[in-house]
Amino acid sequence: MGEIQIRTAMRADLPAISRIMNYPPEPPMAKMLGAHRVSRLGDILVRAGIALKLKDAVVALVDGKVAGVMECGGRTGPGTDARSYLRLLPRILLALGPMTPRAVYGFWLRQRLQFEPIPDAFAVVELYVDEVMRNRGIGGRLLEHADRTAPGKWSRMCIETGITNPARRLYERHGFRVIATKTDASYERLTGSPGRILMTKDI
């Protein structure tokens, strides 16, 4: 494998970023709605700038190709600009089809598991590595980049993830520790995931 390089994400990276984030989709969402629907929906939201804020994102390059992406900043969840969602509503409904009511219910349950923002924490909002490039140090390099570039006003970093997400081990190796857990039986029945955890580390 070639050298890992980190640079600011650009609009031209969006097709590669969407592929990494959505193909394959995250298992809880795939169980809830089906892999194909979730991937299509995710692609719409990434390319529209809702699932990822490009201005706050960096990409990891290996041999000149995007192999990972990370968004960092003060927020702790995906963008929720109502006007953007309304503009995309016809495409979202088309992607979800008859699963729309199930999706609305599932996303409502997911919001109940969302943690409140931590005022003094620099949030790693999204971190994804190409499935075929995992376990090669790319996720670690992205986290190290966040360590180096976090503005001085922040006293710690935080990341929110699923309880069963294998990436939790990566975060723990880089000093993150669980400070809060939220579970929901209805969410688990729908997605197979018991809930979410909030992890922090001092910087």
Number of other residues whose CB lies within 10 A of the CB of residue 151? 9
pLDDT for 81 equals 62
**Least confident piece of the model among 15-29, 146-160, 180-194:** 146-160
pLDDT tens per residue, range 130-166: 999 999 999 999 999 999 998 888 999 999 999 999 9
In this prediction, what percent of the chain has a pLDDT beyond 90? 85
What is the C-alpha separation between 71 and 142, in angstroms, rounded?
Answer: 10
Domains of the chain: 4-202 (3.40.630.30)
Name the 3-class secondary structure at 167: coil
Residue 85 has pLDDT above 90, yes or no: no
Q: At a CB cut-off of 8 Å and minimum separation 6, what does 112 contact?
A: 182, 184, 187
Average pLDDT over residues 72-97: 78
* pTM to 2 decimal places: 0.93
Q: Which amino acid is at 50?
A: I
d(CA 45, CA 198): 24
Does 194 sit behind a cis peptide bond, omega within 30 degrees of 0 on the bond before it?
no
Task: At 188, list the tokens.
Answer: 């688990």
Q: pLDDT per residue over 43-65, tens digit each?
A: 999 999 899 999 999 999 999 99
